[in-house]
Amino acid sequence: MLIKRIYEHFGSLAIAWEADLQALLEVDGIGFKLADAIASNRSTIKPTDLLEQHCAKYPDFWTPADIEYPSLLFEIADPPPVLYYRGHLHLDFSRGHWPTVGIVGTRSPSEYGKRWTRNLSVALTRQGFTIASGLANGIDAVAHRSCLNEDGYTVAVLGTGVDIVYPPHHQTLYDTIANRGLLLSEYANGTPPDRTHFPRRNRIIAGLSRAVLVTEAPQKSGALITARLANDYGRDVYVLPSSLDNTRGRGCLELLNQGGHMILGEAALLEALGSLPQIPQALNSATQPHSIAPQPQLPEALSQVYAQIPADPVALDTIVLSVGLTTGGVLSALVQLELMGLVTQLPGMQYQRTHPS
């Protein structure tokens, strides 16, 4: 994604906004025509005004500059620049501390596919996993409902705006997820279903998940797209084996032939995924107030910047917006704080306290 490449090149979109034509041309994917268009048009655009207008119309959204934006999702090559949400937020989920597994498959599953989707979703939920899927008919709906029946946390990634129920007969499931889980979309409120949206949303399911399970999928299934994307993103793909006579599971057999991990039961899957926190522990950490280390004695400018850096990684853009100083001033302060051993710089121009309390 071009926006991510710009961010990684400059270390900050605020710095990129001020970059001259030559600096823009150094970004992979920006040629003379696009660089000239950016340089000539930005004088007529006020980012703060655009942000205010967007917030007024769509108040519930994240960008990668927000600490709530799922950290695991930002690791993929093309994360959504804007992520709209509705529902019950768990900050630990956004930070990647609440382990997420995607479960996907056919819209018309067999009894075998439904039974094993329930079994696996229940086992994962009891172990403390978040279940991510796409609110579609079939496997998606079974995965969501099975998680909710165990009082688990489920995330539905939509191919519409988060205010649109699709398919319409999933109204009750949609409402339950809105009250107890989370609805996500890269499309603004009011966006209707479109056939091109659903393959795109699959990358978000894969990007949110540490592993993706395909429990039943025919050839040319959208679930196979999700699995291939997950593999491209370095996520593990687990596949439920199917009978040769079952055309609904033919895609699963192909995935296994291509190197997918075979699911041999609930216990074997949990062992393969490793030991993970139970739900009560995750809930406890999610509800604890954010811990800030005692403030050392620092000059005013350094103190201002240090006060905005939490124990968990935070993007440079977020620090700049919080402090109210120039980007150059914040960078200078960060360098001094690093030299003092108080702050650590991480990949992607993110920073965190070196010794959090």
> Which tens digits make up the pLDDT trace of 190-212?
999 999 999 999 999 999 999 99
Tokens of 301: 């400018």
Of the two residues 91 and 204, the one the predictor is more confident about is: 204
**What mean pLDDT is predicted for residues 165-180?**
97
What is residue 341's three-state secondary structure? coil
Phi-psi region of 284 (alpha: psi -120 to 50; beta: other; left: phi over 0): alpha
Tokens of 221: 């299934």
- Whether omega for the bond prior to residue 167 falls within 30 degrees of 0, making it cis, is yes
Strands (E), 217-266: 236-239, 261-262
Give the distance from CA 295 to its chain's centroid: 32
- The pLDDT assigned to 139 comes to 98
The yes-or-no verdict on residue 356 having pLDDT over 60 is no
Measured between alpha carbons, how far is 274 from 124 in angstroms, rounded to an integer?
11
- The pLDDT assigned to 87 comes to 94
* CA dist 81 → 24, 146, 202, 300 (Å): 19, 31, 16, 34
- The pLDDT assigned to 75 comes to 86
Confidence of residue 112 (pLDDT cuts 50, 70, 90): very high
* CA dist 133 → 23, 26, 106, 204, 274 (Å): 40, 38, 12, 10, 21
The yes-or-no verdict on residue 338 having pLDDT over 70 is yes
| Range with the poorest average pLDDT among 4-8, 199-203, 324-328 | 324-328
- The pLDDT assigned to 324 comes to 75
**What mean pLDDT is predicted for residues 91-100?**
73
**What mean pLDDT is predicted for residues 78-105?**
86
Of the two residues 148 and 26, the one the predictor is more confident about is: 148
- The pLDDT assigned to 347 comes to 62
Give the distance from CA 130 to its chain's centroid: 12
Tokens of 5: 């490449």
The yes-or-no verdict on residue 21 having pLDDT over 90 is no
Measured between alpha carbons, how far is 102 from 263 in angstroms, rounded to an integer?
14
Confidence of residue 282 (pLDDT cuts 50, 70, 90): very low
Phi-psi region of 326 (alpha: psi -120 to 50; beta: other; left: phi over 0): beta
